[in-house]
């Protein structure tokens, strides 16, 4: 299966009517195990990369080269459509462009760019900070401009539900959707009414992280096409 085939399969899932659960993968072996278990899609997160490559917590310590190397190992060894959490794109809009170029070349099917301030300000307590909407739009626009294969899926990821009132979350969602991204990725979604409001505000597929408080049927009915299951498989493997 070619990289474009994998990307088009991911696009078909996002445009379909079923909510899929991707498999957490981090290397060639885990990808092949997931594929043998029947998964079509896998996800590589920054946290999983940090844990498996550096043995470190999720503090954005791994480099783009290290992340792209893991992507390459996975895509070379399996036919999974691999989706990756590219964090904040490893810097500003120019860094985002380099990130997209490297990950596309590594065979990735899709990636998300997040709107958190990174690195976090030293000594900050409580909830993390979000970058401004204009900066986020600039980074998403840069990501879209950098892809060479139009089938590569570019996703806007927002942590706004954890930090801002719903009115501001909706402003962000509309602004991000307006850039032309292929989907919106919501983290910390807990209330069905918030999902209803966001669904009414944007007309693009939605990806959610965990969202254990909401049933799969309710997610599916509201256009959620990807739901992350968390990454419990890695600690389970470590204990085995």
Report whether pLDDT(114) > 90: yes
Query: What is this structure's pTM?
Result: 0.95
Rounded to an integer, the average pLDDT of 198-222 is 94
122 vs 168: which has the higher pLDDT = 168
Rounded to an integer, the average pLDDT of 155-167 is 97
- CATH value at residue 7: 3.20.20.60
Structural domain total, the chain: 1
- Domain range for 80: 3-239
Neighbours of 151 (CB within 10 A): 17
d(CA 83, CA 23): 10
Write out pLDDT tens, residues 38-97: 999 999 999 999 999 999 988 888 999 999 999 999 999 999 999 999 999 999 999 999
Sheet strand arrangement including 183-186: 23-24, 41-44, 81-85, 110-114, 153-158, 183-186, 206-209, 224-228
């Amino acid at each position: 299966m070619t990289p474009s085939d994998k990307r088009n399969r991911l696009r078909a899932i996002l445009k379909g009517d079923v909510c899929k659960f991707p498999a957490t993968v981090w290397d060639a072996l885990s990808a092949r195990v997931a594929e043998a278990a029947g998964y079509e899609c896998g996800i590589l997160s920054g946290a999983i990369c940090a844990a498996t490559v550096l043995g470190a917590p999720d503090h954005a310590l791994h480099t783009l080269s290290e992340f792209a190397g893991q992507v390459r190992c996975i895509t070379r060894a399996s036919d999974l459509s691999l989706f990756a959490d590219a964090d904040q794109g490893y810097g500003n809009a120019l860094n985002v462009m380099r990130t997209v170029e490297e990950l596309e070349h590594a065979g990735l099917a899709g990636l998300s760019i997040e709107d958190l301030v990174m690195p976090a300000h030293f000594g900050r307590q409580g909830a993390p900070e979000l970058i401004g909407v204009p900066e986020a739009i600039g980074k998403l626009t840069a990501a879209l401009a950098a892809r060479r294969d139009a089938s590569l899926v570019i996703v806007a990821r927002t942590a706004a539900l954890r930090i801002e009132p719903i009115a501001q979350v909706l402003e962000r969602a509309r602004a991000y959707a307006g850039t032309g991204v292929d989907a919106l990725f919501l983290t910390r979604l807990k209330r069905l009414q918030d999902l209803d409001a966001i669904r009414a505000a944007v007309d693009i597929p939605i990806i959610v992280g965990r969202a254990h408080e909401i049933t799969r049927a309710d997610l599916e009915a509201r256009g959620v096409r990807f739901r992350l299951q968390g990454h419990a498989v890695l600690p389970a493997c470590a204990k085995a």
